[in-house]
Amino acid sequence: MHDEIEKRANYNTIFSPKQAGLGRPYSEMLAHEEKGMVKYRRCWENACGSSGSFENYTFLTPTLYTYGAIPAHASLCDCLQIFSIEVMENGVWRIRWPVEVYGFIAARDTVDQNRNLLFNRTRDDPQMLTQQDPFLQLIGPCRPILLIDPVDFEIQLKVKGTTESEDETFMAQRFEYGHGFGQSGHLARRCWEGKFCTLKITSALLGCAVAATIISADVIEGSWPDDCGGRVVSCTAGIDEDFVLLDSGDGPMHVDPDGHISLRRGVVCVEHDEILTVSVEAYSKDGVSAAARVEFRPKDSLTSIDTCNLGFCTVMFIVGWSLTATKFDLKYDGC
């Protein structure tokens, strides 16, 4: 393993020390980071290995109790909402922007201890990060993250090199998120510092929350302009931060021939006494050309349907509601 690390260290073109002699050598820090992940995996397998593989993804659907009867033991739970993850330099290494990043970030809660993906990119489809836009394009979670016990975040990110042998570790770390990192119903920002970079996490702990799944977003009347970008976000009055469901960036928003809009993220947690607002914006190079929003009142189950009229088209949203499931609920249900 040491020879491989030394070989990779010789190809280091992504990081440069901010000050000569500051910190340990790159190869030593790389070995320490990878050794930590090996230890984390071993500890997980000792504690949870009897229930499945370390590499398993969560098998639970966010619409667990959307349809059918609600079990008597199902209830509202404390959930962790992740709004954004920003890549930053740490105090030791300077990043040579831009960088192509791939790998994954996953949350593991006590519901099933499996990977609940927040970010996932293959080497063939990396995300380009720049100093001006260093935010990861999140795709999850695929179900609510329950904050009953501390949540583990597993981070395995690499920077794509010219060849695979020249790829470099961006971050290989495990971090823990507990109740002490934020007040319920308030936005919290926390930095996780790795050996080579720092991740800034914007999140909120939501008490007595229900899962809202954007089952579909479809253009049902009119058409989306070919030259318009699009942004779809959700928010609640209690937290001044958008939860980005889709942002086409500088390019046009893709709409399928049948009118379907594929959202990057679709699972949002909402406190039971809040209102979920879903907004859609169409914009061109000159700025926002149209915007509309719709409000949904949370339910314990079933679905809600409403539309946003942007003038040139109407977008229909279907939201599925579900109470969240604890480990006890799953055992009770025989999952």
Q: Are residues 27 and 157 in the same domain?
A: yes
Which three-class secondary structure string do you get for the chain? Answer: CHHHHHHHHHCCCCEEECCCCCCCCHHHHHHHHHHHHHHHHHHHHHHHHHHCCCCCECCCCCCCCCCCCCCCCCECEEEEEEEEEEEECCCCEEECCCEEEEEEEEEECCCCCCEEEEEEECCCCCEEECCCCCECCCCCCCCCEECCCCEEEEEEEEECCCCHHHCEEEEEEEEEECHHHCCCCCEEEEEEECCCCEEEEEEEEEEEEEEEEEEEEEEEEECCCCCCEEEEEEEECCEEEEEEEEECCCCCCCCCCCCECCCCCCEEEEECCCCEEEEEEEEECCEEEEEEEEEECCCCCCEEEEEEECCCEEEEEEEEEECECCHHHHHHHCC
Q: Where among 163, 184, 207 does a domain terminate?
A: 207
The per-residue pLDDT for range 66-86, each reduced to its tens digit, is 998 888 878 899 999 999 999
* CATH code for the domain of 286: 2.60.40.150
Q: Where among 164, 184, 207 does a domain terminate?
A: 207
Whole-prediction pTM: 0.92
In a domain, 291, yes or no: yes
In a domain, 55, yes or no: no
The per-residue pLDDT for range 283-294, each reduced to its tens digit, is 988 777 899 999
The per-residue pLDDT for range 248-282, each reduced to its tens digit, is 998 999 999 999 999 999 999 999 999 999 999 99
Provide the residue range defining the domain that includes 27. Answer: 2-47+82-207
Q: Are residues 131 and 35 in the same domain?
A: yes
In a domain, 237, yes or no: yes
Q: Are residues 33 and 157 in the same domain?
A: yes
Total tally of structural domains belonging to the chain = 2
In a domain, 292, yes or no: yes
In a domain, 66, yes or no: no
Q: Are residues 42 and 126 in the same domain?
A: yes
Is residue 19 scored above 90 in pLDDT?
A: no
Higher pLDDT, 14 or 228: 228
Q: Are residues 146 and 245 in the same domain?
A: no
The per-residue pLDDT for range 179-222, each reduced to its tens digit, is 777 778 889 999 999 989 999 999 999 999 999 999 999 999 99
Is residue 5 scored above 60 in pLDDT?
A: no
In a domain, 71, yes or no: no
The per-residue pLDDT for range 212-234, each reduced to its tens digit, is 999 999 999 999 999 899 999 99
Q: Are residues 10 and 115 in the same domain?
A: yes
In a domain, 60, yes or no: no
Q: Where among 157, 184, 207 does a domain terminate?
A: 207
Q: Are residues 87 and 227 in the same domain?
A: no
Q: Are residues 191 and 130 in the same domain?
A: yes
